[in-house]
């Protein structure tokens, strides 16, 4: 597709450029015209027409290709929903009739894998909606979302001690996008804290604070953490794109993001939400 597109654009550009030169030669040499205004009008008209045609040649195939990919993604997403729901429903039914500890562990592993698949499903659905620029904000309990994400990481890292201090709060925001932000920050806090098993999560007064007691960073490293593919420790598994995504999300949604860190002491991440998006509640 793109090879043909390049050929078409090159051919059209070559033909139009040759045409412009021929028109200039015809007016100036053959006709020996002195009417610069007429020549300018003709050339400007041709340039505008050429610009429109080149834009159509380059954009229309890409737009069609993108539309086809979006339709395929939506159809695939729709087809995935049924088998995932079927697996989850039958797992819950099986749990009621199984008593053996070994069988229950196997069921739990299947259930965990199914939940991870469901999360990937939700992320794909989220990506499709963001591509179509849909408004994704909603009212939700932020403290409940944090508890859910911590529960997910507890299953993956049972050795980590999560210390929670959460104020009951309602937030009007992009729930799935913020969930991905929290996941990235928790995952980083765990990965860069090999010598400490403590992760503190505090939610108070419009602010979410996540603190680890890991390797920390100096001021030079703090300047680079939002660079795509940057990793302060190359031995840690990852692609270095998490914090750049976190920064992009926070900038887009008006969330103040701040990092405080010291080498061998740890890192504190602060997310400050807007007052008009935050609603304090009580248990």
Mean model confidence pLDDT for the chain: 79
Cβ atoms of 196 and 213 within 8 Å: the answer is yes
Highest mean pLDDT among 68-82, 91-105, 152-166: 152-166
Nearest in space to 40 (alpha carbons), one of 28, 54, 31: 28
What pLDDT, on the 0 to 100 scale, is given for residue 240? 43
Nearest in space to 158 (alpha carbons), one of 192, 190, 204, 120: 190
The arithmetic mean of pLDDT across residues 127-144, rounded, is 76
Residue bearing tokens 């050929």: 7
Is the pLDDT at 204 greater than 70? The verdict is yes
Distance, CA of 112 to CA of 153 (rounded, Å) = 12
Domain boundaries defined on the chain? 1-134, 137-280
Q: What is the CATH number of domain 137-280?
A: 3.30.565.10
* pLDDT per position as a tens digit, 29-43: 666 666 667 667 777
* pLDDT per position as a tens digit, 223-261: 888 876 555 554 444 434 578 888 988 998 889 999 999
Residue bearing tokens 């749990």: 95
User: What are the phi and psi torsion angles at 251 (to 5°)?
Assistant: -65, -40
Nearest in space to 17 (alpha carbons), one of 43, 52, 41, 55: 43
What pLDDT, on the 0 to 100 scale, is given for residue 215? 86
Compare 265 and 97 and report the one with higher pLDDT: 265
CA dihedral 199, 250, 259, 119 (to 10 degrees): 30
**Hey, CA dihedral for 240, 176, 276, 148, is it positive or negative?**
negative
Compare 200 and 54 and report the one with higher pLDDT: 200
The arithmetic mean of pLDDT across residues 71-97, rounded, is 75
Question: SS3 letters for the chain?
Answer: CHHHHHHHHHHHHHHHHHHHHHHHHHHHHHCCCCCHHHHHHHHHHHHHHHHHHHHHHHHHHHHHHHHHHHHHHHHHHHHHHHHHHHHHHHHHHHHHHCCCHHHHHHHHHHHHHHHHHHHHHHHHHHHHHHHCCCCCEEEEEHHHHHHHHHHHHHHHCCCCEEEEEECCEEEEEEHHHHHHHHHHHHHHHHHCCCCCCEEEEEEECCEEEEEECCCCCCHHHHCCCCCCCCCCCCCCCCCCCHHHHHHHHHHHCCCEEEEEEECCCEEEEEEECCHHHEEECCC
Residue bearing tokens 């270095």: 240
Is the pLDDT at 91 greater than 70? The verdict is yes
């Amino acid at each position: 597709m793109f090879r043909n597109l390049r050929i078409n654009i090159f051919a059209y550009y070559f033909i139009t450029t040759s045409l412009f030169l021929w028109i200039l030669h015809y007016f100036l040499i053959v006709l020996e015209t002195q009417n610069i205004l007429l020549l300018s009008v003709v050339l400007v008209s041709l340039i505008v027409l050429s610009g429109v045609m080149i834009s159509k040649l380059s954009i229309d195939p890409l737009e069609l290709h993108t539309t086809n990919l979006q339709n395929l993604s939506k159809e695939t997403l729709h087809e995935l929903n049924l088998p995932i729901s079927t697996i989850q429903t039958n797992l819950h039914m099986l749990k009621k009739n199984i008593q053996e500890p070994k069988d229950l562990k196997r069921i739990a592993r299947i259930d965990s894998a199914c939940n991870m698949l469901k999360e990937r499903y939700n992320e794909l659905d989220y990506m499709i909606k963001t591509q179509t620029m849909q408004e994704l904000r909603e009212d939700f309990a932020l403290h409940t979302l944090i508890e859910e994400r911590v529960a997910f990481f507890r299953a993956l890292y049972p050795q980590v001690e999560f210390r929670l201090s959460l104020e009951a709060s309602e937030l009007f925001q992009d729930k799935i996008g913020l969930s991905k932000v929290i996941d990235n920050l928790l995952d980083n806090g765990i990965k860069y804290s090999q010598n400490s098993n403590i992760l503190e999560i505090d939610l108070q007064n419009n602010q979410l604070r996540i603190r680890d007691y890991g390797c920390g960073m100096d001021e030079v490293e703090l300047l680079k953490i939002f660079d795509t593919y940057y990793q302060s420790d190359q031995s840690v598994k990852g692609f270095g794109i998490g914090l750049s995504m976190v920064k992009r999300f926070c900038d887009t949604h008006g969330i103040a993001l701040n990092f405080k860190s010291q080498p061998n002491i740890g890192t504190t991440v602060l997310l400050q939400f807007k007052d008009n998006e935050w609603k304090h509640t009580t248990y």
